[in-house]
Amino acid sequence: MTDDTELTGAERAALDRWRVDAAAPPHIAQAVVDALKQRGLIASRRPRWAAATLAAAALLAAFVAGSFMPRSDRLSSREPQFVLLLYSGDDAASAPSRREEYTAWARTIAGRGTAISGLELVDSPDAPLSLPSDTTLPAAMPAQPRGFFVVRARDFAEARRIAETCPHLRHGGRIVLRRVAS
């Protein structure tokens, strides 16, 4: 590939912005299942209690798949992991909207087949716990991360592109990107 056909930052950003997953209409799943039943490829319906259990399992699987399944087992197992450390910004958006936004973003990333997970980091009531002694961090310490996401990506550049789409940046937050030691 010659340099003149590499995408510019603006072009890549435009394509990234366009990359928004859409949920399939729910009736399609049922139509497929009905068709497979007609062809005898799916067994007839089980008792009601069993159906409810299976539906719950399917919903659980949908959540897991929608949020965390890697692009492919073959590729993801070889891909390095990166941590997106999220530091607070000044923007005080309302909690409900921020919660939905971050969750939707993670699910969108996962929906594209990228393995992603995240956890919150919660301070003790007064201040973060520090070791080796049970003391509080001095006020002059740098800001502490409020949470993180872990993603699998082919390389640092791809991880950066993912991080650049994180809504945390739009709210004035900072993201520090680090590669996990393999």
Partner 1 sequence: MEPFDRAAALIKMPWPAVSDTELIRRFVDARDESAFRMLYARHTPAVYGLLRRLAGRAVSDADDALQEAWLRAAVNLAGFRGDSTFRTWLTGIALNCLRERRRRVQQVNADGDVDPLDVRTTRADRSLDVADVLETMSAMHRDVLVLHDVEGYTHEEISDVLGIEIGTSKSRLSRARQLFRERWRGAPAAKESRT
**Binding region for partner 1 (CB under 8 A) out of 19-27, 132-140, 174-182:** 19-27
Q: Does the protein bind partner 1 through residue 143 (CB under 8 A)?
A: no
Alpha helix positions (H), the chain: 9-18, 26-38, 48-68, 73-76, 95-111, 156-164, 167-170
Q: How far is the CB of 121 from partner 1 (least distance, A)?
A: 8
Q: Does the protein bind partner 1 through residue 157 (CB under 8 A)?
A: no
**Count of residues that bind partner 1 according to CB under 8 A:** 83
Q: Does the protein bind partner 1 through residue 147 (CB under 8 A)?
A: yes
Q: How far is the CB of 166 from partner 1 (least distance, A)?
A: 10
Residues for the chain: how many in total?
Answer: 182
Number of continuous H segments (helices) and E segments (strands) in the chain: 7, 6
- Nearer to partner 1 by Cβ, of 32 and 176: the residue is 32
Residue with tokens 């859409």: 22
Q: How far is CA 149 from the centre of its chain?
A: 7
Q: Does the protein bind partner 1 through residue 129 (CB under 8 A)?
A: no
Complete edge-to-edge strand list for the sheet that includes strand 81-87: 116-120, 147-152, 81-87, 174-179
Q: Which residues ranging from 55 to 74 are in contact with partner 1 (CB under 8 A)? A: 57-59, 61-62, 64-69, 71-74
- Nearer to partner 1 by Cβ, of 50 and 135: the residue is 50
